[in-house]
Structure 1
């Protein structure tokens, strides 16, 4: 056919033929390098369909080409998969789709690396296979606790897809704290507004933020580097926190940069990375209860009943809920 078989994986077909193991049905092939598009089905085989070539079923590689062409068209942008599928599966998928549709089926191939658990390859023989449902429930002897789906997603996003992904309690708990820090800043950013002060713009800070945001797309275009995008976001977090605490005025950056910052964080965190809040603060009933306690505490402080005011704050703290007195007599709260 003239197709450059081996282009994706870098394999040389002559070398492959010399080192390949003996497989069944080789004598039925016209060429030893061929792979099966259709296989004869034995009488007991559960997959069996009539075809011009007899009763049988499709080969593994052609199944994927058929599904991809039907649902995504003759060519689509991104095809993912584990690096163990690169050869022969994806190499064969390219060959048959290209010859059938007269165009390369995929513009970009993304092959993720393997998963390890506490530094060891995940496998049944090591008794360290962890299902996603077990990660979410904590129901596995290796796990110290349950981990929210967003924590797991964030943990994966912090590692480049071609790097080994090592699951451990320490790493997951670090991601849990990192996600909370980033999401807290994102929520603070959403509550900020541009003030009307005439303070001059800090051009160095303004340009720094615009540069960090512009690099989001650059990093994703450079081999899907989600980890670098998040690193830039974390570099912006102290600025947002300082604005919330009025250490840095919002007007230190231009109105355009501030709006760009708000929209970029939403677009990348929610729309592109698919992250959501994991805080109990999302629970509407909890919000109602917290607002009631805050109102009672404000009334107690107004009566100079500091014993009651401190009791509310301290007992909430023992439950992992922090009350913070803000400027102007307002109060905010967060779940630790």
Structure 2
């Protein structure tokens, strides 16, 4: 046995002793921060310590230790330790699930069974909670792990961290807009608005049929709501003229917006916003896409107001900055529906 062979075998043995598979699969995508996204059924593990216990979790997850945490408006609750995904489930991962199982829940904006070009690392959209549960069941069967959709409690603890922040990074939205430049920790509607105002100012806009402005044309920066609010961004990163539900006017009621949704919305690759990472190491728990939880609430916002639905958390590319808070914001969705701003991440009982 030559020296190179001995070194190779020693390296493999070291990985095995460390609890990491020596024969890891190839990544199927790359996150916005450059981290590899592995196939959903990859069995590579990482070792974490909790007291005198050694716990193995999937490489793509973080561990949230057992203990009490602040839930909602100051209520103290207790949870055992659990693992939760570092990133939202991506198009590439969901595509692997569809190909392996033949599951019929293909997102409606995919063409020919394929996600939009260049969006392999973007979070999957238009998947119901039923689809998400099927995805978890498939991984569980293939790996022997107890993979599931997180509860609202698990989601919130992972997002708020040990200091119970209102956002993963702190207690303030902390966004700024000046001289046409937006500074933010997460992908919410101001990111889309800033891009449209900067890149699409010469585009002719047709208003959709249900709007009181149907048939009219205009530049993006001239879009208005029924109350005269012009499409713009405020200094603290708020968005004016996004939508007026009473008159069906504003940016959301233009053809540009409709075309955007048909291509999967204004999502970003998971892990793009490094400064938005939670204390436990989770990315995009504010913005990008709302995330399904297994917990049921009576919604207090949106079209689902007053209905018993599943809690969705974290805001999205479509929603306001306040919606990115880590608390329950009263948003919920029907578990059987697929939505343009809702995706999911997975959790696991070690």
Q: Same fold (TM over 0.5)?
A: no
Q: Which structure is higher in strand share?
A: 2
TM-score (norm 2): 0.23
TM-score when normalising by structure 1: 0.23
Please identify the structure whose Cα radius of gyration is greater. Answer: 1
Q: Which has the higher contact order (CA 8 A, sep 6+)?
A: 2
Higher helix fraction (1 or 2): 1
